[in-house]
A = this chain, B = another copy of it.
Amino acid sequence: MAKKRASITDLARQLQLSTSTVSRALSGHPAISEATARRVTALAKELGYRPNSLAAGLRKGRSNLLGVVVPHIDGNFFSQVVKGIEAAASQAGYHVLICQSNEDLAHERENLETLMSAQVAGILVSLSRTSNEFRHFEKVRKRDIPLVFFDRVLVGHDVNAVVLDDRAGGYRATRHLLEQGYRRIAHFSGPQYLNIYKHRRQGYEDALREYGLPVEEDLIVFGHMDMPDGHAGMRQLLALPHPPDAVFSGSDFSAAGALEVLAERGLRVPEDMGLVGFSNEVFGRLTLPRLTSVDQHCELMGRTATRLLLELLEEREPASAPRHVVLQPELLIRASSLRTGRAGAG
């Protein structure tokens, strides 16, 4: 049965106007008399007119779509960021086109191609873990499609980006442990070619130095930051001749793994061992004890990146200097790092 949608031509015919006038009236063009504008919008509403964005996009050379490339969309962090992106975009009348690179450079390249053939107005990207080059983004630049990176950025390239101040996150987490009286603080870190892990470690070291404490290589454990890594890391630390009295983990998952090992060994948290994670995963409120963690404001990151992209779209200046936004993380103090009675002590 498929009833045809009302088009701008239908409105024009019924109102004895030209399509140009109707088009202008609907887009609020100043040269249209108020009376005409009212007539047009009234009929448009009556007929339930919806603009055909394909036609508009074709004519204008770009759609009202924003492309998003993420390593994967499940998982706490990216799904929340995407939530923020979608919210900000739809508020501005844009749609969001999602692609997953599956942490794979070749996929990422293909994603960009298909987004460009969909004529997206702009693109948001968080790099795949294997993306160590930048060539595939040159084509995007050539076409003057605004591009904003978030969270994961390729080091050494000056691009529009919204990132977290991971250094500050690591610093505050570690400093909090120090303020709670812990003095031998270990750290779980990830691949150092990812800026996020590198910066978290730098924050950790800065805090130690500020307290005049040495950075001991034995106390820094590198891994992939999942639960099994947390198990292994904790066992390794406990086997040291002089084990730590606290751990700042660059991920909640490895922190949870550590927690399990500690429970196994009958060590109490936070009394015998302080523990701080990173990312504020949902389960952090469900562990026993609850896990102190660093919140990344994922949704805000999505919103912010989108707003930045929309600004770039408005400007249409060919090549302004790349803009950076750095979001501040937030330390959420829960039981796993709170030595009661010692709180606030130097």
Contact = CB atoms under 8 A, between A and B. Distances in A.
A239 interface: no
Interface stretch (A24-32, A53-61, A215-223): A53-61
The 7 closest A-B pairs by CB, nearest first: A283-B283, A79-B79, A50-B117, A2-B144, A74-B79, A54-B58, A54-B57
Nearest to A319: B1
Contacts of A281: 282-283
Interface string A52-72: 111101100001110000001
Given A3-B142, A50-B116, A287-B288, A82 B58 contact: no
A300 interface: no
A135 to B, nearest CB: 14
Contacts of A52: 58, 117, 119
A202 interface: no
A213 interface: no
B74 A80 contact: yes
Name the residue among A5, A63, A79 with the largest chain B CB count within 10 angstroms: A79
22 contacts: A1-B318, A2-B142, A2-B143, A2-B144, A5-B116, A50-B116, A53-B119, A54-B57, A73-B73, A73-B83, A73-B86, A75-B79, A76-B282, A79-B79, A86-B98, A90-B100, A90-B114, A95-B114, A96-B97, A96-B98, A98-B98, A282-B282
A37 interface: no
A120 to B, nearest CB: 10
Contact of A73 (B79, B100, B113, B142): B79
A142 B143 CA distance: 39
Contact of A100 (B1, B86, B113): B86
A331 interface: no
Nearest to A2: B144
A70 to B, nearest CB: 10
A100 B117 contact: no
Contacts of A98: 82, 86, 96, 98
A234 to B, nearest CB: 15
Nearest to A299: B74
Contacts of A114: 90, 95
A344 interface: no
Contacts of A259: 286
Contacts of A55: 58
B53 A117 contact: yes
Contacts of A238: none
Nearest to A110: B90
A263 interface: yes
Contacts of A95: 97, 114, 118
Given A75-B79, A282-B283, A54 B86 contact: no
A99 interface: yes
A280 to B, nearest CB: 13
A139 to B, nearest CB: 8
